A and B are shown apart, each in its own frame.
Chain A
Amino acid sequence: MYTVKHYCMASSLDEAYKTLQENRNNILIGGNLWLRMGERRVNTAIDLSGLGLDTIEETDEGFRIGCMVSLRQLETHEGLHEAFGGLFKKALCPIVGVQFRNCARVGGSLFPRFGFSDVLTAFLACDTEVELYKAGRKKICEFAAMPVDRDILTHVLVRKDHRKVDYRSFRMTETDFPTVTCAVICKEGRYSAVIGARPGCARLVEDVPLDDPQDAGQRAGFARKVAAGLDFGSNMRGSADYRRDLSCRLIMRCLEQLEGEVPGR
């Protein structure tokens, strides 16, 4: 169980950032679900909930999502649902339960770059940038590969670009952490895939050739090529080989879904 000495309801991002840099044991607090399970002795917990960062703004070009938006807000947002064909609902619904997703926030879910993250997998499947208070805007791929430092993730920007995306995850039991997460993207006839929980952090594999998506053999070849470009590891949820096989299977199912061969789940 963690302990907290001081609680700072930040009145500006500037104050939050300054307080964060003052002491190694000052931390930002999102939904607090992950944090509170640790043993940290927190000096100052910095709360961003008074800064209006809990909204999703939609324009013709895309979405601007505040870091204190809950996972439940993401999964129930009609604009996101329309733009990405239920991607966020498919990705987020298996995470524990509705009450949990009302608590968990976008910032706390993305910033730690958890290997198992359905949230990171879903955002990698879109044309996404993150806005960091100090480092500025970064492409989500670049952000995913950066070391976790002491910046503040303030917003996530997602562009509407008419892509089609399907999402699958494999879990040993419902609401467990995923063994593998998978998204396949089709944009202007070009195909890419994201695989997460390898168990390392989710990765985007872009523009893998797939001339005829109606051809089952070519779909299997696409899946193998994606998997070949990634490293897989073993842990209590599965071995590297098992994860590689699972990834291929999930990629093929996503492709079938995108090509309209099977009815939706």
Chain B
Amino acid sequence: MLISFIINGKQAKREIAPDTILLDLLRSMGMKSVKCGCDTGNCGLCTVWLDGSPVLSCSVPAARLEGHTVTTLEGLQEEAAAFSRCLADEGADQCGFCSPGLIINVLALEREIEDPDVNQIKEYLSGNLCRCTGYQSQLRAMMKYFGKSQE
């Protein structure tokens, strides 16, 4: 089946199978920031935006994309730089495998909630699993990025 959609601001058309999953489609298009960390809907590493909202691309049927807009981290390079610096400053990118999923989710939080409180920050953080950090450094990075005091 043929679908047409917008990916990172550009119109695209692709022939897909009825069971193609968005994650596989994006990787086949060269978007390697989108990774599969669990395949069970738990880890958040495959996060992309669908019409501006963060979703798990490992679960979205590609057939549903017709007429919709997808954004991956490749399309958000400039916006991502400032939070990436916070992650590095707080020592929160150890192996770095989880970082793309977290970064794009944090940018979604920034767009959804103007001045998130610590609970809203934690709520967003809980969707991204990390094997290395224990989440404290990531929480510090998010608090710093959103200009929150660390007490």
Contact = CB atoms under 8 A, between A and B. Distances in A.
A42 B17 CA distance: 13
Contacts of A42: 19
A158 to B, nearest CB: 23
B1 A96 contact: no
B61 A7 contact: yes
A153 to B, nearest CB: 19
B19 A2 contact: yes
A6 B41 contact: no
Contact of A98 (B42, B50, B59, B127): B127
Interface of B: 1, 17-19, 21, 40-42, 44, 47, 50, 53-56, 58-61, 63-64, 66, 105, 108-109, 123-124, 126-128
Contacts of B19: 2-4, 7, 42, 45
B61 A99 contact: no
Interface string A25-52: 0000101110011000010010101000
Interface residues of A, number: 28
Main secondary structure of the interface of A (DSSP, over half): mixed
B61 A29 contact: yes
A99 B127 contact: yes
A103 B123 contact: no
A201 interface: no
Contact of A7 (B18, B21, B126): B18
A263 to B, nearest CB: 14
A32 B60 contact: yes
B120 to A, nearest CB: 10
B56 A100 contact: yes
Interface in A63-101: 72, 93, 96-100
A97 B58 CA distance: 14
A165 B6 CA distance: 43
